[in-house]
Amino acid sequence: MVELGGKTRLVSYLQKIRNNDNYQRCRTRRRYPPRILIVVLLVLWLPALEIPGVLACGPGRGGGRRPILRKLTPLVFKQHVPNVSENTLPASGLPEGRVSRDHTRFRDLVPNYNADIIFKDEEGTGADRLMTQRCKEKLNTLAISVMNQWPGVKLRVTEGWDEEGKHATDSLHYEGRAVDVTTSDRDRSKYGMLARLAVEAGFDWVYYESRSHIHCSVKSESSSVGKSGGCFPGSSSVLTPSGPKLLSSLGVGEAIASLDSAGEIVFSEVIAFLDYAPSSKRQFIRLSTSSGRQLTLTPSHLVPTEPKDLKTPSSIIYAAKVQVGDRILVRDDDRTLPGGSRVRWDDVIEAELVLEEGVYAPLTREGTIVVDDVVASCYAIVNSQTIAQVGFFPLRLLSTITDGLQSVKDFFWHSHGGQDITTNEIQGSKSMNSRWRQPEGLHWYANFLYSISTYVLPSSMLY
Ligand SMILES: [Ca+2]
């Protein structure tokens, strides 16, 4: 085997090979000067145009309260808003598993000591006061609405987090994501309006469940708006020059199949992971196509779809907006083509919400990625691939500079001898990965772009 000094030389040697033959089967694209100049100008212009960046998986935008201007209609008995079932994407989403006091997710539950809310706490354990942060925020908003609507009346919580298993299987009460509420005077004629106020307060699903209470629930902390950006689960695979590879074992510096601006499949370098959380669980959308492909990604992720009319040149939309009958781009092997691949449109036949482990958001130089043989964008949250690509330009530039410095270093290594390196590519890519070990969590640059985009981008452009 090669000793330590040899390893570094081996890496540079492999990089040299990469640069020379470009993997033969597919090209690794890098873009230099004229385009860079244009983008630099664009970046400088952005503050003036008020359109900066984009996000990957990032912390959530605060759920703004809708101003109550119109006349409020009370809900009727057994009505729920939105008019879909509780565990769907437009409502509160999937249950993520029961939380007990010794569970790691128990730390996510916060006690609510709001003096304007009466907690029944018939259990005497304080469990009714425990809820997720999102649930607490919506509940506190509702408490104010109740006092405004009926002076002298307060909001009353009869059930919060349930650790005793008194609810139906998979109830969101077990995760602190649901509350059952009444008014303090227990005047049942008020409950229809109480439910409407809960909808206005921002609960993700409100149900006039029983004559004696209103059930309100929220999305999980990890899936609430903005917290879940452009990620894929670890079980998804990407295509590298040496074959398919699970996202969970992919590293920065490796080349993976992506779609270039000319619509060709090329191998593009992974320059960063915008989010990297192998042990996190998250809710993903799984799009299945008629030829059996499955793309699993977070709802706010951008996906190219076939334009509905000829006027639109391209149509890149949030995964959450993709419907059955829409067409997405899939990759087929085609040895007759120089790249060995071709792309075609394929019908989406099912879109379902699934809970999966591992959160990975690789950013390629091209800004696109082929995952499980389906084309997706590397971006999320902001509904423009172009703005996203511009927003992440500095990160690509940084990566180019780093690569450049590495090449200079390699040059000196080689001019000091060491041409007798013989080994295989697998060892090489391993060394490259360890050189770029990714810290867990959101990438600092994605986080930075997030914090500015909330202030400067129009909300219509954000997920
Ligand atoms: Ca209770």
Gap from CA of 171 to ligand 1 centroid (Å): 14
Q: What's the 214 CA to ligand 1 centre distance in angstroms?
A: 14
Q: For residues 239 and 331, what is the distance between their CA atoms, to the nearest angstrom?
A: 10
Residue 158 annotated as binding site: yes
162 is in an annotated binding site: yes
Statement: residue 143 has pLDDT above 60: yes
Helix, coil or strand: residue 124: coil
Please, are residues 247 and 237 in contact by the beta-carbon 8 Å criterion? yes
Is the backbone peptide bond immediately before 439 cis, with ω within 30 degrees of 0?
Answer: no
Give residue 221 CA to ligand 1 midpoint distance, Å.
22
Question: How far, in Å, is the centroid of ligand 1 from the Cα of 128?
Answer: 5
Per-residue pLDDT at 427: 39
Per-residue pLDDT band at 194 (split at 50, 70, 90): very high
Mean pLDDT, all residues of the chain: 79
Q: Among 110, 203, 212, which residue's Cα sits nearest to residue 156?
A: 212
Rounded CA separation 369/385 (Å): 13
How many other CB atoms are found less than 10 A from the CB of residue 195?
27
Answer whether residue 32 shows pLDDT above 50.
no
Least confident interval from 154-168, 295-309, 310-324: 310-324
Burial 275-299 (b: 16+ CB within 10 A, else e): bbbeebbbbbbbbbbeeebbbbbbb
Q: Is 180 annotated as a binding residue?
A: yes
CA of 64 to the centre of ligand 1 (A): 29
> What residues contact residue 226 under an 8 Å CB cut-off, 6+ apart?
55, 58, 59, 60, 61, 300, 381, 450, 462, 463
Task: State in Å: Cα 182 to ligand 1 middle.
Answer: 12
Q: pLDDT tens digits for 226-281? A: 555 678 999 999 999 999 999 999 998 999 999 998 888 999 999 988 888 888 88
Buried b (16+ CB within 10 A) or exposed e, 84-98: eebbebebbbbbbeb
pTM of the model: 0.70
Distance 135 CA to ligand 1 centre (A): 16
Structure tokens at 245: 């590879």
Residue whose entry in the numeric block shows the structure tokens 């990714």: 438
Distance CA 23, CA 322 (A): 34
Does the annotation flag 128 for ligand binding? yes
Strand partners, 317: 303
Q: From the CA of 129, how far away is ligand 1's center (Å)?
A: 9
pLDDT, residue 386, reads: 77
Residue 215 assigned as binding residue:
yes
Confidence of residue 445 (pLDDT cuts 50, 70, 90): confident
pLDDT for position 350:
95
